[in-house]
């Protein structure tokens, strides 16, 4: 009897325990729900994409070259170079003396011709005196008309001889002046082939000058890009040292290369830009303004060859990965070409630690839109 009572108590205890367990399992429990909900992976600040007016640009590459080069050659020949006053890189002014040729023979020729001019002038003076005397006695019959005509012809001939001698003297003086090699314009000496002591011929190149020290960027563009380029448009040239120089389009080539299908755009750069002819540079040409959708660079994640952003879902507790196509970057912002609309709230920073469907906690920001730059 006691054994039966003991078994009955055990059975009642088991049934009560099972009933309590069933009630616990069936009733809603906030603690259980809290345990089943994922913990936020990251506290984020959302940001919306905004439209900005960015310059519409064309990217191009090309060489830096002299705007114009002036060739300075010897104008007289068979003379030796006696002085060299400049070298490559020298800054020169218009009319500055660059070199001298041997001038002794030219000086002697000038002196000889000066004497010839003096002689011709004296001869003309004598002929003029004869004409005056003949005119005084012409009415008295002392001189025949033929003789008077001879005096006049002699005077005219001597006058022509004097003019010839004076012209020859001017020619000798020009030759003497040509022994002084002068700069034809302001600029920088870019080449020097003159050697001290060398005997040069007429037409021998001695120097080259970059006129006015102006260097320009010769950018190569396609035929489609060429149609959008106009004189005066701004250009930004990135030099090999990392410095950016601003210039203006001077001229777009009127022809396109048949071999490469490319055209040259000549961009003038300001003097004193620390650029050198022969450098290779890249840059951009501004065509105008373009309205583009932008996000902060920190919101964009590069992963597995994709460009992703993480968009806050409607529940405001999870995010979804969205692949976008990006374009230019400027001032800490990146252009979103496609894949995103302006109404989406995007994770501003830290998105590299997230995955699709990750739980987040939203931290309201004082400003959920990026500042326009």
pLDDT band at 108 (very low <50, low <70, confident <90, very high): very high
Residue 262 sits at the vertex; the CA angle it makes with 215 and 234, to the nearest 5 degrees, is 45
The CATH fold assigned to 104-178 is: Helix Hairpins (1.10.287)
pLDDT band at 341 (very low <50, low <70, confident <90, very high): confident
Q: In the prediction, which pLDDT does 260 show?
A: 87
pLDDT band at 19 (very low <50, low <70, confident <90, very high): very low
pLDDT at 370 over 60: no
pLDDT in tens, 28-46: 444 444 445 567 667 888 8
Could you tell me the maximum CA-CA distance found in the chain, to the nearest angstrom?
Answer: 199
Q: In the prediction, which pLDDT does 220 show?
A: 94
Q: In the prediction, which pLDDT does 365 show?
A: 52
Q: In the prediction, which pLDDT does 56 show?
A: 83
Task: Report the CATH architecture of 42-54+291-362.
Answer: Beta Barrel (2.40)
Q: In the prediction, which pLDDT does 18 show?
A: 44
Domain boundaries of the chain, sorted by first residue: 42-54+291-362, 59-68+214-288, 69-95+186-213, 104-178
State percent of the chain over pLDDT 90: 50
Distance (Å, rounded) from C-alpha 171 to C-alpha 160? 17
Asked whether this chain's domains 42-54+291-362 and 59-68+214-288 adopt the same fold, the reply is no
Q: In the prediction, which pLDDT does 367 show?
A: 41
Mean pLDDT of the chain, nearest integer: 84
pLDDT at 13 over 50: no
pLDDT in tens, 124-133: 999 999 888 8
Distance (Å, rounded) from C-alpha 54 to C-alpha 331? 11
Q: What is the pTM of this model?
A: 0.62
The CATH fold assigned to 59-68+214-288 is: Elongation Factor Tu (Ef-tu); domain 3 (2.40.30)
pLDDT at 364 over 70: no
Higher pLDDT: 158 or 26? It is: 158
pLDDT at 306 over 70: yes
State percent of the chain over pLDDT 70: 85
pLDDT at 177 over 90: yes
Q: In the prediction, which pLDDT does 368 show?
A: 43
């Amino acid at each position: 009897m006691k054994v039966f009572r003991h078994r009955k108590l055990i059975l009642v205890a088991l049934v009560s325990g099972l009933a309590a367990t069933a009630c616990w399992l069936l009733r809603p429990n906030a603690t259980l729900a809290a345990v089943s909900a994922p913990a936020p992976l990251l506290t984020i600040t959302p940001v919306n994409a905004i439209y900005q007016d960015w310059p519409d640009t064309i990217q191009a590459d090309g060489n830096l070259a002299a705007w114009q080069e002036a060739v300075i050659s010897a104008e007289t020949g068979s003379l030796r170079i006696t002085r060299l006053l400049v070298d490559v890189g020298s800054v020169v002014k218009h009319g500055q003396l660059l070199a001298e040729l041997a001038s002794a023979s030219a000086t002697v020729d000038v002196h000889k011709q000066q004497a010839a001019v003096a002689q011709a002038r004296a001869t003309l003076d004598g002929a003029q005196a004869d004409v005056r005397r003949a005119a005084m006695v012409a009415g008295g019959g002392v001189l025949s008309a033929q003789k008077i005509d001879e005096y006049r012809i002699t005077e005219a001939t001597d006058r022509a001889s004097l003019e010839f001698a004076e012209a020859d003297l001017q020619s000798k003086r020009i030759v003497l002046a040509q022994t002084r090699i002068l700069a034809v314009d302001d600029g920088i000496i870019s080449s020097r082939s003159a050697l001290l002591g060398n005997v040069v011929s007429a037409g021998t190149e001695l120097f080259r000058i970059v006129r006015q020290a102006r260097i320009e960027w010769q950018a190569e563009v396609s035929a489609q890009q060429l149609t959008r380029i106009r004189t005066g448009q701004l250009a930004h040239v990135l030099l090999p040292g990392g410095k950016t120089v601003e210039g203006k389009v001077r001229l777009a080539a009127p022809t396109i290369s048949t071999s490469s299908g490319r055209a040259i755009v000549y961009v003038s750069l300001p003097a004193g830009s620390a650029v050198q002819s022969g450098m290779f540079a890249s840059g951009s040409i501004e065509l105008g303004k373009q309205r583009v959708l932008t996000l902060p660079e920190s919101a964009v994640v590069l992963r597995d060859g994709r460009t992703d952003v993480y968009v806050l879902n409607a529940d405001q507790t999870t995010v979804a990965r969205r692949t976008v196509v990006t374009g230019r970057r400027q001032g800490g912002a990146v252009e979103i070409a496609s894949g995103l609309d302006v109404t989406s709230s995007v994770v501003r920073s830290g998105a590299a630690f997230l995955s699709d469907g990750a739980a987040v906690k939203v931290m309201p920001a004082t400003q959920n839109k990026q500042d326009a730059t």
